[in-house]
Amino acid sequence: MGTLKALNSHSKTLFAGMVGNVLEWYDFVVYGFLAVILGELFFPSTDPMVSLIKSFAVFAVGFLMRPIGAIVFGYIGDRFGRKKSLTISIILMAVSTTAIGLLPTYQQIGILAPILLVTLKLLQGLSVGGEYTTSVSFIVEHAPENRRGLFGSVAILGAVFGILLGSASGAFITKILSEEALYSWGWRILFFTGVLLGFVGYYVRRNIDETPKFLELEYEEMVDKKPIRDLFKNYKKEFLKTFFLSTFQAVGFYTIFVYIANHLNVFVKFPKAEALTINTISMIVLAVLIPFFGFISDKIGRKPLILFSTGLTVLLAYPLFVLLSKGTFETALASQIIFALIVAGFMSILPTTLVEIFPTKVRNSGYSIGYNLPFAIFGGTAPLIATYLIKVTGDINSPSFYLIAAALVAFIVGLTLKETAKEPLK
């Protein structure tokens, strides 16, 4: 009976932490899928490329808000509890996502339409800045000591599920609706899913316990009233390690699972459907591997997997890009799957590793800010930099240089890490 109760409690914890990440990445994929349509509806121009660029510029604005969201929600999580931070962020995320689907277009209200769209993307970026990292802290602080790696990996698994859900939803609605219907009202449906995910997430988070580690701080009256000040005063090294490790996470994810589909389509001349199929298969492989490596890290430690993934990326990124660009479906798929195998080890255990770096009193602020800054700087710009590298070098495989540089820095930082898998949370 006790075992069943514990399993039920753990399931609720994992779902509560994961649901916001599903919503975040679902919206990410949906907005990218609808970028052309939104560009024409909210930024009409005689040049379709101008409309598309403006649409993607709005997307980038959301990334710039992430560090601000990290500061806000990191502070809330450290000062008032992880549960409160997560409850507020899921409401803000669900409301802003759903509201985009309700917006009148430029043709209906003029310049106010793009202004409202930008405002809602700013609110989304704000909520996203604290959502993922707070959910990881929440999950890992609830986890049994010998399963923190496995539990922490579930948070990033939520991101993968969100991407797959967004891709499937976009493909489904494209098949059942005409282009006219999609432009007229169909695009709105994809954003309304935010209502369901938001409602479920809010309900679950409202009815789950605060983490034992934060309750312990409250009981001992040791909650830090100025966590951000104390973070930069006393934990500079931990913050810098978080920043540089997260840089590889940002560059790796956006290069391998966001940029490469475009690379195959534009530079290798794959049909878009084939490029997306390859990307989807690699994402499924990643989803399977993430909990596996999370489990393994509880047995052998975090550090070996960090060094394994970053070291292999340094050695194999360029050869894998060469394989990717050969022009056949089989070689491109093999390259993407090998990439997924390599980076899954890092991505699966980075969440838990960064939670274990900081003490509870500044954990949410340190992790949130140290993680979201490199995502704002290096993550959202990775596809742009990859394309620029090809232009200036003339080498179709040059995006691997950016990946190698980020991996090399993370490898060096990994060498300095103290193994934390078998130690209690501070």
Label residues 9-33 b or e (16+ Cβ within 10 Å = b): ebebbbbbbbbbbbbbbbbbbbbbb
Terminal Cα distance for the chain, rounded: 31
Please, what are the averages of pLDDT over each run of 10 residues along the chain (426 residues)? Answer: 49 77 79 76 72 66 84 92 89 88 90 88 85 88 89 85 81 80 85 80 81 87 88 94 95 85 81 80 90 94 95 96 92 94 94 93 93 86 81 90 96 94 86
Same domain, 400 and 303: yes
Instruction: Report how many domains make up the chain.
Output: 2
Q: Are residue 253 and residue 283 in the same domain, yes or no? A: yes
* Domain co-membership, 241 together with 138: no
Same structural domain, 203 and 289: no
Are 112 and 206 found together in one domain? yes
Same domain, 174 and 264: no
CB of 386 within 8 A of CB of 402?
yes
Neighbours of 137 (CB within 10 A): 33
Note whether 133 and 273 are same-domain residues: no
Q: What is the pLDDT of residue 310?
A: 97
- Cα separation, 238 vs 417, in Å, equals 10
Same domain, 213 and 241: no
pLDDT score at 56: 63
Residues constituting the chain: 426
pLDDT of residue 61: 74
**Residues 40 and 119: beta-carbon distance below 8 Å:** no
Inter-residue contact 87 to 122 (CB < 8 Å): no
271, containing H or E segment: none
Residue 73 domain boundaries: 1-223
Say if residue 204 is in the same domain as residue 157: yes
Distance CA(203)–CA(372), nearest Å, equals: 26
- Give pLDDT, residue 229: 93
Q: How far apart are CA 210 and CA 83, in angstroms?
A: 6
Which whole-number Å values give the CA distances from 305 to 152, 205, 238, 343, 348, in the listed order? 14, 32, 19, 10, 9
* Vertex 317: Cα angle to 315 and 323 (nearest 5): 120
Domain boundary residue, one of 163, 195, 223? 223
Can you tell me the distance from the alpha carbon of 331 to that of 127, in angstroms, rounded to the nearest whole number? 39
Buried b (16+ CB within 10 A) or exposed e, 80-90: ebbbbbbbbbb
Tokens of 228: 């951000």
pTM comes to 0.86
Domain boundary residue, one of 223, 253, 282: 223
* pLDDT on residue 248: 96
The sign of the torsion formed by the CA atoms of 332, 334, 335, 339 equals: positive
Q: Are residues 203 and 240 in the same domain?
A: no
CA distances from 413 to 38, 99, 228, 250, 307 (A): 41, 42, 23, 16, 9
Strands (E) in 222-347, as ranges, are none
pLDDT of residue 8: 54
Using left for φ > 0, alpha for ψ between -120 and 50, and beta otherwise, residue 328 falls in: beta
Asked if residue 157 and residue 140 are part of one domain, the reply reads yes
Each residue's pLDDT tens digit, 175-191: 788 888 888 888 888 88
Per residue, the 3-state secondary structure of 60-106, as one string, reads HHHHHCHHHHHHHHHHHHHHHCHHHHHHHHHHHHHHHHHHHHHCCCH
Domain end position, chosen among 200, 223, 246: 223
pLDDT for 392: 87
CATH code, 200: 1.20.1250.20
* DSSP tag of 11: H
Residues 195 and 235 occupy one common structural domain? no
Report residue 51: phi and psi, to 5°: -60, -45
